[in-house]
Structure 1
Amino acid sequence: MSLRPARLRPSDLLRLGGTGLSARPLRAVLSALGIAIGIAAMTAVVGISASSQADLDRALAALGTNMLTVTPGQTMFGKESNLPDDSVSMIRRIAPVLSATATGAVDGAHVYRTDRVPVAQTGGLGVLAAQLDLLKTVGARLADGIWLNAATARYPAVVLGSDAARRLGNPPTVFMLGRLWSVIGTLDPVPLAPELDSAALVGWQAAATYLGFDGHPTTVYTRAVEAQVEAVRGVLAPTANPQQPNEVKVSRPSDALAAQRTANATFTALLLGLGAVALLVGGIGVANTMVISVLERRAEIGLRRSLGATKGQVRTQFVTESLLLSLLGGAAGVLLGYLVTGLYSTTQSWPTVVPLWALAGGVGATVVIGAIAGLYPAIRAARLAPTEALASA
């Protein structure tokens, strides 16, 4: 009758591997700490870089990476064309478009501080009819007062751009076409639409009623899903003016969008390189620890082999120890790296961002590296003959 060696259950392997580590707690702690520091460095670098990238993305988004403008071009005879009255509503139907709004230049209307200012002294200030959702789309903010609403947009009420408010005195007064208009608000400078800074903004209906506005939008501001900006740009002209798309001008995507994508690619390459170096260092540490462990535990290995342990069981024991050591170090490193990222991001007023792949990948990669690093010491331990191991003890 042939004798078969007893099989080790997974629970037996975990207990055996844990016993090997707990027998030398200081060495296990120091080895796990070495792995943890490497993984914490990788996680912190990835997290800090990702947080910095998120802050950069936020800053670039504020510069209008996903905003396009539509304006009327010229007819084939060289005359100024017009956008259809329903061009804004048609643009809003484009699926990737998040919002669309418009302003319309009011020809023949000029802004004066009082009715005693000479007609020729317009100060370069224009009058624009504005739709109510203009502020949200262009990212404008009020410096004082309120924005136009459904009520004030019907009456002689005006909101001034930052430059216009400065030129018209403190407090500013507005006189247009023989009527004094109520200034209900002023804007901060608008980086995405600087033409608004030197304009007096009135309601769409009030412009038609009091200033003879013809209702045609002259600038349509469009926000689109960032990944679809180029695709939206390709269909804006035929959507805004289906009959004469060649008479529509569409701005090109912002330079900030190209800068954002370049930064994303650079960050990705940097993170991959740093992660690979950190994992390599961690793997070397695990391999070094396990090799030393095999050398110091030759007597134990010989005794186990003499009592009937197979080469496969000895090999599995040391691989299990390596896996447990790597898992402990990886988990501690990920936690430490996350805390360092949160602390540093808070001091810099950044959003704390640690990619999920960095957390899961940090632990998973250490386990894989630990298995690979522990394989050679495990094979070496399994190859020791019982008599040789006991004799050298």
Structure 2
Amino acid sequence: MSRPRPARLAPLDLLGLGLMGVRTRPARAILSGLGIAIGIATMIVVTGIPASSQAALLQQLTALGTNTLQAMAVPEDGRPAQLPEEAVSMVRRIRPVTAASAVGNTHTLVRRSDRIDPDDGSGLTVLATQLDLLPVINARIRVGTWLNPATAQFPTVVLGSVAATRLGITDLPPDQARPQVMIANRRFTVVGILTTTDLSPDIDRSVLVGWEAARTELRFDGHPTVIYLKCAESEIDAVRGVLPETVSPERPGRVMITRPSDALAAKQATENSFSVLFLALAAVALIVGGIGVANTMVVSVLERRGEIGLRRALGATRGQIRGQFLTESVVLATAGGLAGTALGLLATIGYATWQGWPLVVPAQSAGAGVVGAIVVGVLAGLYPCVRASRLTPTQALAAG
């Protein structure tokens, strides 16, 4: 006569057994769930808050011009450095380039008045400028206005921040006549002053004249000296490689291209260091949470040996005992994971809002909060559930 096979527990019955330990010991269940919740919340916080801080930092680095290059002419045989007149339009045809502008050296001196020594230019440069220069170099007007299609054709200038200080023109009161400076014995009216330009300090020491006014008033030849351009950051190395031939097909060797700014290297290093930090801190948080659940489950097995012996005596199999304690472990970890994910998200949102950072919560971190809790629950419950299933009815009842 064959022995009857033990009945298999339905998933809902197994879940009920797993929840029984949680219901009978709610305080311990809450403390155990709190341990894993703190671990998962830590994982969310240590990824979300640094990611938001990183986003704010990268915005500042990008403002310095990590997607900007400069092409400039190299003097040769004592001749002035200059680029072809059509160089800017050629640069704009490069597919990844999003904006390009230029300035040209007029090789003239600027003076505060005609009483200053004609050979004293205060160390400043007079540059012819194209009207779309400001957005390309991330420059802004501090006072006054920028050149427009009308004023760019007349003797008007915009001063860089250093140039304004050296010429003694630091403000443009609206109720007073605009000051004038002398360039090549011609008077030019100051219509604006720039803020300090972090990306292009040479602009700070320059007096900017409209391209057409420079041609008519200063005999400017129309050849740009420096070309500024913006392009897709991921394509910056490729653009840099083709710029010399594009700017000056006949003499590419006379074109010097600036390397990507140091801010770009700092940005890339920041991304790498933050990624390593995220992984390390998240791993520590999960390990701490898993240890808490494992400890709770081991103690639960020791305290419930009488219950285990009774169930074994009534016919429960080792597999059913393993399933009960493994389910309880997963339930505790999952509940803690859900609570920890919610807590971590709230903490990240609150801190990022308080700091004024852009809110960045890695989606993988939020999803990994719950999935990781389930995995941790399984791993933490393996030893306790195997230990419980190995207890014979007599051993369990005697110990209980």
What is the TM-score when the length of structure 2 is the normalising length? Answer: 0.88
- Asked if residue 212 in structure 1 is aligned to residue 219 in structure 2, the reply is yes
In structure 2, distance between residues paired with 1:313 and 1:334:
31
In structure 2, distance between residues paired with 1:322 and 1:90:
67
Q: Give the match's secondary structure for 1:165.
A: helix
In structure 2, the residue matched to 1:168 is 167
Q: Give the match's secondary structure for 1:83.
A: coil
In structure 2, the residue matched to 1:114 is 113
Q: 1:235 aligns with which of 216, 239, 242?
A: 242
Q: Give the match's secondary structure for 1:363.
A: helix
| Amino acid of the structure 2 residue aligned with 1:38 | G
Question: How has the CA–CA distance of structure 1 residues 210 and 335 changed in structure 2, closer, same or farther, with 3 Å as cutoff?
Answer: same
- Asked if residue 359 in structure 1 is aligned to residue 358 in structure 2, the reply is no
Question: How has the CA–CA distance of structure 1 residues 207 and 15 changed in structure 2, closer, same or farther, with 3 Å as cutoff?
Answer: farther
In structure 2, the residue matched to 1:71 is 72
Question: How has the CA–CA distance of structure 1 residues 297 and 219 changed in structure 2, closer, same or farther, with 3 Å as cutoff?
Answer: same
| Amino acid of the structure 2 residue aligned with 1:131 | Q
Deviations for 1:10-69, whole angstroms, at most 9, x for unmatched residues? 444334323331221111110011111222223222333323333332332233333221
> Bigger CA drift: 273-282 or 328-337?
328-337
In structure 1, distance between residues paired with 2:348 and 2:180:
51
> Bigger CA drift: 366-375 or 335-344?
335-344
In structure 1, the residue matched to 2:59 is 58
> Bigger CA drift: 307-316 or 120-129?
307-316
Q: Provide the aligned length of Structure 1 versus Structure 2.
A: 391
Deviation at 1:353, TM superposition (A): 3.0
Q: Give the match's secondary structure for 2:110.
A: coil
Deviations for 1:290-343, whole angstroms, at most 9, x for unmatched residues? 111122222333343344433223222222221121112122223323333344
In structure 1, distance between residues paired with 2:276 and 2:237:
25
| Amino acid of the structure 2 residue aligned with 1:324 | V
In structure 2, the residue matched to 1:271 is 278
Root mean square deviation of aligned Cα: 2.5
In structure 2, distance between residues paired with 1:10 and 1:208:
86
| Amino acid of the structure 1 residue aligned with 2:133 | L
Aligned pairs for 1:287-302 (under 5 A) are 287-302=294-309
In structure 2, distance between residues paired with 1:175 and 1:101:
26
Question: How has the CA–CA distance of structure 1 residues 183 and 24 changed in structure 2, closer, same or farther, with 3 Å as cutoff?
Answer: same
- Asked if residue 325 in structure 1 is aligned to residue 332 in structure 2, the reply is yes
- Asked if residue 191 in structure 1 is aligned to residue 192 in structure 2, the reply is no
| Amino acid of the structure 2 residue aligned with 1:210 | E
> Bigger CA drift: 187-196 or 161-170?
161-170
What is the TM-score when the length of structure 1 is the normalising length? Answer: 0.90
Question: How has the CA–CA distance of structure 1 residues 243 and 304 changed in structure 2, closer, same or farther, with 3 Å as cutoff?
Answer: farther
| Amino acid of the structure 2 residue aligned with 1:53 | Q
Deviation at 1:255, TM superposition (A): 1.9
Question: How has the CA–CA distance of structure 1 residues 110 and 78 changed in structure 2, closer, same or farther, with 3 Å as cutoff?
Answer: closer
Aligned pairs for 1:130-169 (under 5 A) are 130-169=129-168
Q: Give the match's secondary structure for 1:34.
A: helix
| Amino acid of the structure 2 residue aligned with 1:98 | T
Aligned pairs for 1:87-102 (under 5 A) are 87-102=87-102
Q: Give the match's secondary structure for 2:193.
A: strand
Question: How has the CA–CA distance of structure 1 residues 182 and 31 changed in structure 2, closer, same or farther, with 3 Å as cutoff?
Answer: same
In structure 1, the residue matched to 2:175 is none
In structure 1, distance between residues paired with 2:13 and 2:324:
10
Q: Give the match's secondary structure for 1:104.
A: strand
In structure 1, distance between residues paired with 2:89 and 2:19:
68
In structure 2, distance between residues paired with 1:78 and 1:156:
30
| Amino acid of the structure 2 residue aligned with 1:110 | L
Deviation at 1:80, TM superposition (A): 4.0
**Kept in 1: contact 2:109–2:119 (CA 8 A):** no
Deviations for 1:58-92, whole angstroms, at most 9, x for unmatched residues? 332233333221001245x5644532222222223
Question: How has the CA–CA distance of structure 1 residues 159 and 13 changed in structure 2, closer, same or farther, with 3 Å as cutoff?
Answer: farther
Structure 1: 5+ residue runs without aligned partners?
A: none
In structure 2, distance between residues paired with 1:320 and 1:93:
64
Question: How has the CA–CA distance of structure 1 residues 86 and 11 changed in structure 2, closer, same or farther, with 3 Å as cutoff?
Answer: farther
Question: How has the CA–CA distance of structure 1 residues 15 and 201 changed in structure 2, closer, same or farther, with 3 Å as cutoff?
Answer: farther
Structure 2: 5+ residue runs without aligned partners?
A: 173-178
Deviation at 1:219, TM superposition (A): 0.7
Q: Give the match's secondary structure for 1:252.
A: coil
